[in-house]
């Protein structure tokens, strides 16, 4: 009798906390009660009541979507030791992609640490290849990678010899180094030597960045002489090529700067990923691909093994990609920037895993190459590959993958799931790689449409993942311990606002286009609940409109002496108070359950991803940007955000009180104007300067408390009014905000019947 195949992974339902479920159902119940109360009393009130009802309907709708996502959470368990026992000889090759776009905003040392962590993962090195896409075409990046490859020859054997857990040296050699649980003979000497070598590497890179050590443009950097980062030919360098099957050796390391030309659209990161896919296809052609951002290092050395357990272990439901949640290591004490994503990791991600799978997050993701090439789950790959081959021979290949015979040949192997022979010499494939990285290669092909990363949004990750789900594929969530990848969270509010605005803009681009998930459900294979999940994330930016309206209501009512809430003596006020209290108790419970402080909860409430501040600044401007695009006034641009290296806890403590900064950007005007409006409303109510109310319809305690709550939610802006330098709101912003507030008050009616 044959031995049973070892178990590689398991999928199991995740138990939901009883208190959490009770609170969530209670919130939904009270939302329904609020809407019923509004409907029953709508005739007796005016426009203010109708506006409140509209906003509350939106909030209730969003809460329903949230609950639907969290209905059936699941978790996946992986057993990498079983994979090593049974499949070690037949483990598939993996191509690893690292993307960077600006050597100034994304310092080379950060990219180097990410690359070093990937080169040192626990996987047969001759089956790994690391490609670094440099969309900034910077000689600094290439120089840093060349120097890093020299250090890697010492670093990788050291990590594997002593089973080092954290293999990004920036983090390993931090204030509290994570040493092995044992100290064998010679370990301390090797550790000291390794730290010295890393410091030398950092110094070399820093000298190059500061122009203290001029780069030699006569050798490796000759292609960068007088280079224009926006108009340059393709540059591909094989930095390191592994030719021996050594367990602690180095994987292939290849530098890629795709061609750029001002007359051709380059589609930002999506274009870079497609170029990497083609370059790797003609060079190593691994059936699986990992992509990470330059600041997202491998925190778990067994990440590739965990991913392969899931991609190889589920025969009955093939996963298109395995997604690791995006998590961060540089969260400051009490999370003053509201960057931590505990709630999403604990609730949203497992909930998505129980539907058609998690969203593609753009980093920390393992892909099947054949899925990226456009394969559907129900496709007969043999027929599809034959069609591609026929197109190639009939000179019609430009309609699909482009006019590269090498790429067509490699794609056919992938679609037929043939065994891929590892190349003996990467340099032999460089010429073909140059061809497929050409700026005109995608012209009249399906790249960016049905093949590769999809164009049409600056959030190409969500769009590409949705297209994959629409073809019938599922995705798989992987949450090992320790986490697979860790990155750098936004260190200032300015960076967070840029990220949020870019994200909202891209999501709304998808929503208001032919790529809307509703069409994918009606005409493709996107499941209904998965469609609702995509709608939940795509409408994220639209929350800014009801948020703004609802935040204006208390001030409006205090100024005009009207009301949008029941009076204190009315029992219905309890319903509104219950929604408010239970909703915030729910978030507080989630934070405390994750071991976070009350102050961290408050920071999440004021500046976190779902806060009013981000909603009425970045999200609001994201909506405006998309409206301008739809009207043909302007186009959307991709903004690269500043990445910072910060591994020292002392540095984090030193910068704790200096994170919320302001500038003269108009993005701060709406929130500042709203704050002025509420100050004015509170003073008006306190001094009794309101117009006379009609009967008992004047403003009451509910409106007063809501106005105070809005001020508290925008407390960082209150501090900004009294701050100095970059920590204070600029006078230009204050003047514009004051004018807006005065205009709003001017148009408020002197008498109201609401």
List the binding residues for Mn(2+). 269, 293
Q: Which of 135, 295, 335, 547 is catalytic?
A: 135
> E-strand spans in 62-127?
74-78, 94-100
DSSP bridge pairs for 252: 129
Cβ neighbours of 164 (radius 10 Å): 20
How far is the C-alpha of 485 from the C-alpha of 168, rounded, in Å?
11
Cβ neighbours of 156 (radius 10 Å): 22
How far is the C-alpha of 295 from the C-alpha of 647, rounded, in Å?
13
Residue positions counted in the chain: 754
How far is the C-alpha of 169 from the C-alpha of 195, rounded, in Å?
8
Residue 470 sits at φ, ψ, to 5 deg, of -70, -20
Residue 269 · residue 101 · CB < 8 Å: yes
Residue 352 · residue 466 · CB < 8 Å: no
For residues 612, 615, 621, 627, the Cα torsion angle rounded to the nearest 10 degrees is -130
Annotated binding site for UDP-alpha-D-glucose: 106, 135
Q: Is the dihedral of CA 282, 287, 293, 294 positive or negative?
A: negative
DSSP bridge pairs for 323: 365, 477
Return the closest-CA partner of residue 553 out of 126, 103, 15, 49: 49
DSSP bridge pairs for 260: 232
> E-strand spans in 93-191?
94-100, 128-134
- Residue 373 exposed, middle or buried by CB count within 10 Å (0-12, 13-18, 19+): buried
DSSP bridge pairs for 289: 95, 367
R_g (Cα) of the chain, nearest Å? 28
Residue 295 designated active-site: no
Q: Is the peptide bond before 482 cis (omega within 30 degrees of 0)?
A: yes
Residue 478 · residue 78 · CB < 8 Å: yes
Q: Which helix (H) or strand (E) holds 604?
A: helix 598-607
Sequence-ordered list of residues with C-beta below 8 angstroms from that of 730, at least 6 positions apart, any chain: 662, 663, 664
What tokens does 351 get? 């909930």
With b for 16 or more beta-carbon neighbours within 10 A and e for fewer, the 352-371 pattern comes to bbbbbbbbbbbbbbbbbbbb
Beta-strand pair 319-323/94-100: unpaired
Return the closest-CA partner of residue 65 out of 545, 543, 627: 543
Q: What is the DSSP letter of 357?
A: -
User: CA geometry: angle at 304 spanning 301 and 308, to 5°?
Assistant: 145
How far is the C-alpha of 305 from the C-alpha of 593, rounded, in Å?
30
Residue ranges of alpha helices (H) inside 90-138 are 108-119
Cβ neighbours of 52 (radius 10 Å): 24
Residue 135 designated active-site: yes
Sequence-ordered list of residues with C-beta below 8 angstroms from that of 262, at least 6 positions apart, any chain: 230, 231
SS3 readout for 541-601 = HHHHHHHHHHHHHHHHHHHHCCCCCCCCCCCCHHHHHHHHHHHHHHHHHHHHHCCCCHHHH
Cβ neighbours of 229 (radius 10 Å): 16
DSSP bridge pairs for 584: none
Please identify every residue annotated as catalytic: 135, 461
């Amino acid at each position: 009798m044959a031995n049973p195949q070892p178990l590689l992974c398991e999928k199991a339902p995740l138990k939901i906390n009883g208190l959490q479920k009770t609170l969530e159902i209670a919130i939904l119940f009270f939302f329904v009660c609020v809407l019923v109360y509004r409907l029953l009393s709508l005739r007796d009130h005016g426009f203010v009541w109708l506006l409140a009802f509209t906003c509350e309907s939106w909030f209730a709708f969003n809460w329903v979507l949230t609950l639907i996502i969290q209905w059936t959470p699941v978790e996946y368990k992986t057993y990498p030791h079983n994979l090593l026992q049974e499949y070690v000889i037949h483990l598939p090759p993996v191509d690893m992609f690292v993307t960077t776009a600006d050597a100034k905003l994304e310092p080379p040392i950060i990219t180097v640490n990410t690359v070093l962590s990937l080169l040192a993962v626990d996987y047969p090195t001759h089956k790994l290849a690391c490609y670094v896409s440099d969309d900034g075409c910077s000689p600094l990046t290439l120089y840093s990678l060349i120097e890093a490859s020299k250090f890697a020859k010492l670093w990788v054997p050291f990590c594997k010899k002593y089973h080092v857990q954290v293999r990004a040296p920036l983090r390993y050699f931090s204030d509290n180094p994570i040493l092995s649980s044992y100290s064998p003979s010679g370990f301390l000497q090797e550790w000291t030597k390794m730290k010295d070598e890393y410091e030398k590497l950092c110094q070399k890179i820093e000298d190059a960045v500061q122009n203290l050590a001029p780069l030699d443009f006569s050798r490796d950097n000759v292609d960068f002489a007088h280079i224009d980062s926006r108009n340059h030919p393709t540059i591909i360098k094989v930095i390191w090529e592994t030719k021996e099957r050594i367990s602690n050796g180095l994987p292939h390391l290849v530098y890629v700067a795709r061609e750029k030309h001002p007359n051709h659209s380059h589609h930002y990161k999506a274009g870079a990923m497609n170029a990497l896919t083609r370059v790797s296809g003609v060079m190593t052609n691994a059936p699986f691909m990992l992509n990470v951002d330059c600041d997202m290092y491998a925190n778990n050395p067994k990440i590739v093994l965990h991913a392969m357990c899931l991609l190889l272990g589920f025969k009955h439901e093939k996963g298109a990609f395995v997604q690791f949640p995006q998590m961060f290591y540089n969260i400051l004490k009490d999370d003053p920037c509201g960057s931590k994503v505990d709630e999403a990791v604990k609730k949203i991600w497992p909930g998505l895993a129980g539907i058609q799978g998690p969203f593609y997050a753009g980093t920390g993701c393992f892909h099947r190459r054949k899925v990226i090439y456009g394969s559907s789950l129900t496709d007969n790959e043999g027929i599809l590959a034959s069609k591609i081959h026929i197109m190639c021979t009939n000179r019609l290949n430009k309609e699909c993958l482009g006019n590269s015979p090498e790429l067509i040949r490699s794609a056919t192997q992938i679609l037929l799931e043939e065994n891929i022979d590892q190349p003996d010499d990467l340099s032999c494939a460089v010429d073909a790689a140059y061809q497929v990285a050409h700026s005109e290669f995608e012209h009249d092909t399906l790249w960016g449409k049905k093949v590769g990363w999809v164009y049409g949004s600056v959030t190409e990750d969500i769009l590409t993942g949705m297209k994959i789900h629409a073809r019938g594929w599922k995705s798989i969530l992987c949450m090992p311990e320790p986490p697979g990848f860790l990155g750098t969270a936004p260190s200032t509010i300015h960076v967070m606002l840029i990220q949020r605005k870019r994200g909202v803009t891209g999501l709304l681009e998808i929503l208001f286009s032919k790529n809307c998930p509703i069409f994918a459900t009606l005409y493709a294979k996107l499941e209904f609940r998965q469609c609702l999940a995509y709608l939940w994330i795509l409408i994220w930016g639209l929350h800014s409109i009801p948020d703004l309206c609802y935040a204006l209501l208390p001030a409006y009512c205090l100024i005009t002496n009207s009301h949008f809430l029941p009076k204190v003596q009315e029992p219905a006020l309890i319903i509104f108070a219950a929604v408010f209290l239970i909703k915030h108790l729910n978030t507080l419970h989630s934070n405390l359950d994750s071991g976070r402080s009350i102050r961290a909860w408050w920071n999440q409430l004021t500046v976190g991803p779902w806060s009013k501040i981000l909603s009425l600044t970045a999200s609001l401007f994201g909506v405006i940007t998309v409206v301008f695009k739809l009207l043909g006034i302007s186009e959307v641009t991709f903004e690269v955000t500043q990445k910072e290296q910060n591994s020292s806890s002392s540095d984090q403590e030193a910068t704790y009180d200096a994170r919320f900064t302001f500038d003269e950007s108009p993005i701060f005007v709406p929130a500042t104007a709203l704050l002025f409006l509420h100050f004015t409303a509170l003073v008006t109510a306190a001094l009794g300067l309101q117009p006379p109310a009609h009967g008992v319809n004047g403003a009451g305690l509910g409106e007063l408390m809501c106005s105070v709550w809005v001020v508290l939610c925008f407390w960082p802006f209150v501090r900004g009014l009294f701050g100095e330098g970059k920590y204070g709101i600029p006078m230009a912003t204050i003047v514009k905000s004051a004018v807006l507030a005065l205009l709003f008050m001017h148009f408020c009616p002197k008498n109201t019947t609401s």
